Amino acid sequence: MDTPTGPMAARQGKEPPHLAVPPIVNSLTDCHTIGMRLGEFEFTEPLPTLKEPHVLAVLKPWIDVGNVGSLGLGRIERHLGATEVGKLARPGRYYDFTRYRPRSIRNKGVREYIIPNTIIRTAIREDAPDLVFMHLMEPHNYGEDYTDSVLELLTTLGVKRYSLVGAMYDMVPHTRPLLVSGGSRHPSSEEEYRSVKVSPSDYQGPTSITYLINQQAESLGIETRTFVVHLPQYFQVDEDYTGTARLMEVLCRLYNLPNRLIDRPRGTQQYEALENIVKDTSEVSSLLARLEERYDREQQEEPGSPSQPSALSPGIEDFLREINEGFDPPSQT
C-alpha cells in the first residue's frame, strides 16, 4: 500500500518524508547514481541552489496542442543549457501505459526504452529568477496525489512563481496575430499581462485535475500565471510554429531572453501554406472571412465592453462539427 506524502500526508498528521534512497539502478545501462526522493519524485544529488526560482510548466496533452508549450520550453532549455534533475520515481502509478505508450529506439546499435514520465529540468542564470522547467503529463490515476506531490516539490525548491504555458484551439483566423489569454489571482498580474498583450481568460468547460496545482499554490504563497495561445481550429498540425513564436514573444519579454528564440519566419512560412487550402475549400474561405470580421470588431472594442459575435451560417457550423467529430488532444505515443 502506498504511503501518503506531501500535503496529503500533512492532512493525515504525518510529516512529508524527504528520504535519501539507496542508489538508483538505471535499467538500460546498469549504472548506479545517488538519488533522493521528494514526494513521488526522484532527484539526482545534490539539488541545485536556485535563486527565487520561477517554474515554466507545460501539460501534455491537455493544453499543449500543436506542441506549442513543449517547443517553447525546449528552445529556452537549449539556450540556457538546462539540465534534467528529476522525474517521477514510479510513473506507472499515475499513467496508463496503454494510453501513453513507451517507445523502443536504437541508439548507436543499442536498444533503449523510453518510458513516459514527468520530467524536471533547471537552468541557473546570472540574475534571478532561475528557471525550473516542468514537462507535466496529465495523470490517469491518483490525480490528487499527483498534484500534492508537485506542490510539495514547489515548496521544497522555494518556487516564487508557477506559470502554465501552452495552446488551445479556438475560432480565430490564421491571418491575424494570434491571441494569448491568461489568468492569475495575484494583484500584480494585470499590469504584467497588459505589457505582453495577454487578455484575461473567460474559458468555462472541461479542465484538468492538475489545475489544483494553480489553485493550491496561491494558498502556499506562490504566484501563478497562465499563458495560453489560441490557434486556428481549422488548421491542426503536430507542431505549430506560429503559435510557438507567439508564446516565445511573451516569455522572451518576461524573462529578458534574446528575440532570436522567437523564430517568426518558420511560422509565417507554415501559415502561408494555408492559402491554397483556403482557396480550394469554399467552407474554409467563408469561415475565414467571418472569423476575420469578428476578430477585427472585437479587437476594436473597448476593454470590458460586451462582445456580440455574429452567428455562423449553418453550412459553416456543419463544417466545424465535422472537424471536431471525435477530436481529442493527441496522446503520447
Cα atoms in the Cβ-side hemisphere of radius 13 Å centred on 150: 32
Partnered with residue 105 across adjacent β-strands are 112
As a residue count, the chain comes to 333
Least confident of 74-83, 130-139, 287-296, 314-323: 314-323
Per-residue model confidence as pLDDT tens digits over 85-112:
999 999 999 999 999 999 999 988 999 9
CB 28 within 8 A of CB 102: no
Collapsing DSSP to helix, strand or coil, 269 comes out as helix
Angle between helices 241-255 and 68-80 (to 10 degrees): 50
Prediction pTM value: 0.80
Q: What is the DSSP letter of 20?
A: B
Q: What is the band of 152 on the pLDDT scale with cuts at 50, 70, 90?
A: very high
Choose the weakest-confidence range: 9-23, 70-84, 168-182. 9-23
- Give the architecture (CATH level 2) of 37-270: 3-Layer(aba) Sandwich (3.40)
Cβ(36)–Cβ(19) under 8 Å?
yes
Beta bridge partner(s), residue 226: 164
Pull the grid cell for residue 223: 504566484
Report helix, strand or coil for 228.
strand
Q: Is the pLDDT of residue 18 over 50?
A: no
150: helix, strand or coil: helix
Is a pLDDT exceeding 50 seen at residue 1? no
- Tell me the per-residue pLDDT of 241-285, one tens digit each, with 9 for 90 and over: 999 999 999 999 999 999 999 999 999 999 988 777 777 676 778
* Residue-range domain boundaries for the chain: 37-270
pLDDT band at 31 (very low <50, low <70, confident <90, very high): very low
Do residues 45 and 34 touch, judged by C-beta distance below 8 A? yes
Residue bearing the bigger pLDDT, 332 or 48: 48
Location of C-alpha cell 500534492: 148
CA angle 248, 272, 193 (to 5 degrees): 25
